Chains A and B, each alone.
Chain A
Amino acid sequence: MTGNDDIGAKLAAAACALLGTAVCAPASAEESTNAWSIDSSFLYYGESDGRVQDVSAIVAAQRDFGDQRKLSATLTADTLTGASASGAIALDGPQTFTSPSGRATYTTPAGEVPLDDTFHDTRFALNATWSQPLAELYTLSAGAGFSTEYDYRHLGANVSLARDFNKRNTTLSAGLAWSQDDIDPVGGAPMPLSQMLDVGDQSHKLGSDSKTVLDVLVGFTQVLDRATVLRVNYSYSDSSGYLNDPYKVLSVVDPLTGDTITRVPAEEGPTGVYLYESRPDKRAKQSVYAEMKRAFGARVLRVAYRFMTDDWGIDSNTAEASLRWPLGASSYIEPQLRYYTQSHADFYRASLIDGEPLPQYASADFRLGDFDATTVGFKYGHRMANGSEWNARFEYYQQTGSIPSQQIIGNQANREQYPDLSAVIVQFGYRFGF
Chain B
Amino acid sequence: MKRSLLLILLGTLCGCTTVQPWQRDVLARPEMSLDAAPLDAAIDDHIYFSKEASSGGRGFGGGGCGCN
| A contact residues vs B (CB 8 Å cutoff) | 6, 9-10, 12-14, 16-18, 23-28, 39-41, 43, 45, 56, 58, 60, 74, 76, 78, 80, 121, 123, 125, 145, 147, 149, 151-152, 154, 156, 158, 165-170, 175, 177, 179, 181, 183, 213, 215, 217, 221-227, 229-231, 233, 235, 237, 243, 245, 285, 287-289, 291, 293, 295, 300, 304, 306, 308, 310, 312, 314, 316, 318, 324, 332, 340, 342, 345, 367-368, 373, 379, 393, 397, 399, 421, 425, 427, 429
Q: Which of A10, A13, A345, A425 is packed against the most chain B CB atoms within 10 Å? A: A13
- Cβ-defined contact, B39 with A60, below 8 A: yes
Residues of B within 8 A of A304 (CB): 58
Instruction: Name the A residues within 8 Å of B52 (CB-CB).
Output: 316, 340, 342, 367, 373
Are the C-beta atoms of A154 and B64 separated by less than 8 Å?
yes
Looking at B21, B23, B53, which has the most chain A CB atoms within 10 Å of its CB? Answer: B53
List residues of chain B with CB within 8 A of the CB of A80. Answer: 67
A300 neighbours in B (Cβ, 8 Å): 29, 31-32
Q: A14-B21, A165-B6, A226-B25 are in contact. List 4 more A-B contacts (CB 8 A).
A: A41-B39, A149-B66, A169-B19, A287-B54
Q: Mark B25-52, 1 if CB is under 8 A from A, else 0.
A: 1111111111110111011000110011
Residue ID in chain A nearest B47 by CB atoms: A45
What's the dominant secondary structure at chain A's contact region?
strand
Check if B65 sits within 8 Å of A147, measured CB to CB. yes
Contacts of A26 in B (CB 8 A): 28, 30
B25 near A43: Cβ-Cβ < 8 Å: no
